[in-house]
């Protein structure tokens, strides 16, 4: 197992704030994993940034009557602050409008172009005559041919999850004018994904059948079984990274070409700041690359981006892509258009100092293998019954008893084999679950140690033995203190703010 861990989290679109679905499905699990790997002594680069070239940004800008740059400047700062406030410990959080990213993505494109990895194709694309613009996939809406959803986009139906092309939509309309678009010839550069089928089959289908999550493996297998087709890597748009060729005026890199390259360009920024070589993380077999994403991004991270990196020739493939399912809110799909969401920045404002409660609640409901549901009632139960009733109760009892009988000084002692075993068992279980991306199980293992602590105190009854067997009472509270400190250490990836408070309480270094 490599000592270097390159951990990426899906780039959030900078067209609005992040909500609990994003947090539970990508960012909190990714942060837990990164913190765990750091505590394990690994050389970690935890990388993310705002995706500022997506069509949702230009749609938002048109609705608000401002420029796309205004939109991304606003939401980049909101998103970045939300992550910081919730303890998401990115080593680098950047943005795709940076000059460094533009140069990195253009250089990547030029390498593929010079290696003749692209094909130039003239195709008919939808064109809005009133707006005088070619329409990107997300600017076209129509009826999904698979489920009948009348508001499907030209690249995806968000109701049934089908990946689409604009030509498949029934009754397509332009989102710019509402008119029916015409088809018009345009030239773009395509990556022939079909040429990478053998490579992808060998790497994923044969190589990762047993260690990748079933939802990821199954979706990739389905795509490969159906057969891959060439996909355009450029678009006719006026917002994005310009195609770096002399005959490409008015064309930009496809957002799903430039966005994942952000992982590379952001790593470059981090490495330069910290005196490291970014190539040690991206171009060395001694590095493990792990992508944390939502299930709607599987195809891009397991087929398109790997094909791009294979075509380039210098980059490693991801060791794992632990994609999560979706989180619903009160049994209803989270919807930004309906404002049906719990926004991260609003939670921090409304519940100051309660970041770890949200982290805990979302992790315990993390949609690891299937869509899950968040309710405020469950949030309250997890806080009151688990965090306060089990974890907090144990810590409080230990602190109160040590202050009462020993003036706040932990009595001296030694752990016997069975007592040490229980702590070590919990640590090994947490570690094993996290290595396998089983966050809910790892959280259960943590809480089981707190349950053991409560059971231990109840069985030992130091408040009684202090009278007739003070040595036994001292030993009991010594052991209880060791369990409390172990909890303070072990909970750090999950609840970093609480961990620091507990370590300070017991005067223990992190």
Q: How many CA atoms lie within 13 A of 397 on its CB side?
A: 25
What pLDDT is stored for residue 160 in this prediction? Answer: 86
What pLDDT is stored for residue 1 in this prediction? Answer: 61
What pLDDT is stored for residue 62 in this prediction? Answer: 86
C-alpha distances (whole Å) from 460 to each of 402, 419, 473 are 14, 13, 8
Q: Does residue 134 contact residue 126 with C-beta atoms inside 8 Å?
A: yes
CATH code assigned to 376-505: 1.10.730.10
CA distance 405 to 399: 10
292: β partners:
9
- Mention every residue, 6+ apart, whose C-beta is less than 8 A from residue 373: 327, 328, 329, 330, 331, 365
CA distance 60 to 83: 22
CA distance 411 to 402: 8
| DSSP one-letter string for 22-56 | HIIIIIHHHHHHHHHHHHTT-EEEEEEEEB-SSHH
Q: What angle do CA 497, 503, 505 make, to 5 degrees?
A: 105
Pairing assessment for the beta strands 287-294 and 4-9 based on DSSP bridges: parallel
Q: What angle do CA 490, 493, 498 make, to 5 degrees?
A: 75
CA distance 96 to 101: 6
Consecutive 10-residue averages of pLDDT for the chain (510 residues): 92 96 98 98 98 88 93 98 98 98 98 98 90 84 94 87 87 91 94 97 95 95 95 92 93 96 98 97 97 95 98 97 97 89 97 97 95 97 97 97 95 88 95 97 97 96 95 96 97 98 89
CA distance 400 to 321: 45
Residue with tokens 């539970």: 24
Write the secondary structure of 420-488 as one string of H (helix), E (strand) and C (coil): HHHHHHHHHHHHHHHHCCCHHHHHHHHHHHHHHHHHHHHHHCHHHHHHHCHHHHHHHHHHHHHHHHHHH
186: β partners:
123
Letter string b/e over residues 385-403, b meaning 16 or more CB atoms within 10 A of that residue's CB? ebbeebbebbbebbbebbe
CA distance 26 to 86: 13
User: Is domain 117-236 classified as CATH 2.170.220.10?
Assistant: yes
CA distance 174 to 158: 18
CATH superfamily of 4-111+254-344: HUPs (3.40.50.620)
Sign of CA dihedral 418, 422, 424, 428: positive
Largest CA distance in the chain: 93
Q: Where are the domains of the chain?
A: 4-111+254-344, 117-236, 376-505
Q: What angle do CA 423, 428, 429 make, to 5 degrees?
A: 100
Q: Report which DSSP code applies to 410.
A: P
What pLDDT is stored for residue 164 in this prediction? Answer: 87
CA distance 37 to 445: 17
CA distance 448 to 302: 36
Q: Does residue 433 contact residue 445 with C-beta atoms inside 8 Å?
A: yes
Q: Does residue 31 contact residue 74 with C-beta atoms inside 8 Å?
A: no
What pLDDT is stored for residue 437 in this prediction? Answer: 97
Write the secondary structure of 100-164 as one string of H (helix), E (strand) and C (coil): HHHHHHHHHHHHHHHCCCCEEEEEEEEEECCCCEECCHHHEEEECCCCCCCCEECCECCCCCCEC
CA distance 61 to 70: 8
């Amino acid at each position: 197992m490599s000592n270097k861990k390159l951990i990426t989290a899906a780039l959030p679109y900078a067209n609005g704030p992040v909500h609990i679905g994003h947090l539970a499905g990508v960012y909190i699990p990714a942060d837990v994993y990164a913190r765990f790997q750091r505590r394990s002594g690994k050389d970690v680069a935890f990388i993310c940034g705002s995706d500022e070239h997506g069509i949702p940004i230009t749609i938002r800008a048109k609705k608000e009557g401002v420029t796309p740059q205004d939109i991304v400047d606003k939401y980049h700062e909101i998103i970045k602050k939300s992550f910081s406030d919730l303890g998401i410990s990115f080593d680098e959080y950047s943005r795709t409008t940076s000059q460094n990213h533009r140069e990195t993505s253009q250089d990547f494109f030029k390498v593929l172009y010079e290696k003749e990895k692209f094909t130039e194709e003239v195709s008919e694309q939808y064109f809005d005559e009133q707006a005088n613009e070619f329409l990107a996939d997300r600017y076209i809406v129509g009826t999904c041919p698979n489920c009948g959803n009348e508001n499907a986009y030209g690249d995806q139906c968000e109701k049934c999850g089908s990946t689409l092309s604009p030509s498949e939509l029934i009754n397509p309309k332009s989102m710019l004018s509402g008119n029916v678009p015409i088809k018009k010839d345009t030239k773009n550069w395509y990556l022939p994904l079909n040429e990478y089928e053998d490579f992808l089959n060998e790497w994923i289908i044969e190589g990762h059948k047993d260690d990748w999550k079933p939802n990821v493996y199954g979706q990739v297998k389905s795509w490969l079984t159906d057969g891959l087709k060439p996909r355009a890597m450029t678009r006719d748009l006026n917002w994005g990274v310009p195609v770096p060729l002399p005959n490409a005026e008015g064309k930009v890199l496809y957002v799903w070409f430039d966005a994942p390259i952000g992982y590379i360009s952001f790593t470059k920024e981090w490495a330069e700041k910290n005196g490291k070589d970014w190539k040690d993380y991206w171009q060395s077999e001694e590095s493990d690359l792990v992508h944390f994403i939502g299930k709607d991004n599987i195809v891009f991270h397991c087929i398109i981006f790997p094909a791009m990196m294979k075509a380039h020739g210098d980059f490693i493939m991801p060791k794992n892509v632990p994609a999560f399912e979706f989180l619903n809110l009160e049994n209803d799909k989270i919807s930004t258009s309906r404002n049906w969401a719990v926004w991260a920045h609003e939670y921090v404002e409304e519940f100051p100092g309660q970041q770890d409660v949200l982290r805990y609640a979302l992790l315990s409901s993390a949609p690891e293998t299937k869509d899950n549901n968040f309710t405020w009632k469950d949030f309250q139960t997890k806080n009151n019954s688990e965090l306060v009733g089990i974890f907090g109760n144990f810590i409080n009892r230990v602190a109160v008893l040590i202050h009462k009988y020993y003036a706040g000084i932990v009595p001296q002692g030694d752990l016997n084999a069975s007592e040490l075993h229980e702590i070590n068992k919990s640590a090994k279980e947490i570690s094993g679950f996290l290595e396998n991306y089983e966050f809910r199980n790892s959280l259960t293992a943590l809480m089981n140690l707190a349950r053991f602590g409560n059971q231990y105190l109840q069985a030992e009854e130091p408040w009684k033995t202090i009278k007739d067997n003070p040595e036994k009472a001292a030993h009991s509270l010594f052991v209880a203190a060791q369990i409390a400190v172990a909890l303070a250490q072990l909970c750090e990836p999950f609840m970093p703010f609480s961990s620091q408070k507990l370590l300070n309480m017991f005067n223990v270094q992190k």
